[in-house]
Amino acid sequence: MKIRILAFGVVKEFMNSSSLEMDVQEAITVAALKAEFEALYPEIKKLKTYLVAVNDTYAGDDETVDANAEVAIIPPVSGG
């Protein structure tokens, strides 16, 4: 299935794009998605940490992602 991944901040910068379409297996877990993303963009491993949000909510590694989900890569936040 194809999923759309949103990028922000430093991630958007090294991706050179604010979003990405990735072709992944059905019902992929967040952990597996992170591994595929890291393979595509090794720069992400230089970050202090990063999280994944699914449908506007922080998602744990075991959660699965379906095709309609809005997925976002969340580098360390720095609001305020």
When the beta carbons of 20 and 75 are compared against another protein, the nearer one is 75
Tell me the pairing of strands 2-6 and 70-74: parallel
Q: Measured from the CB atom, is 28 or 52 closer to another protein?
A: 52
Binding site for another protein (CB under 8 A): 6, 8-10, 12-13, 46-48, 53, 56-58, 72, 74-80
Question: If you search the block for the tokens 């609001």, which residue do you land on?
Answer: 79
Specify whether the CB–CB gap between 47 and 78 falls below 8 A. no
Paired strand residues for 57: 54
Nearest distance from C-beta of residue 31 to another protein, angstroms: 20
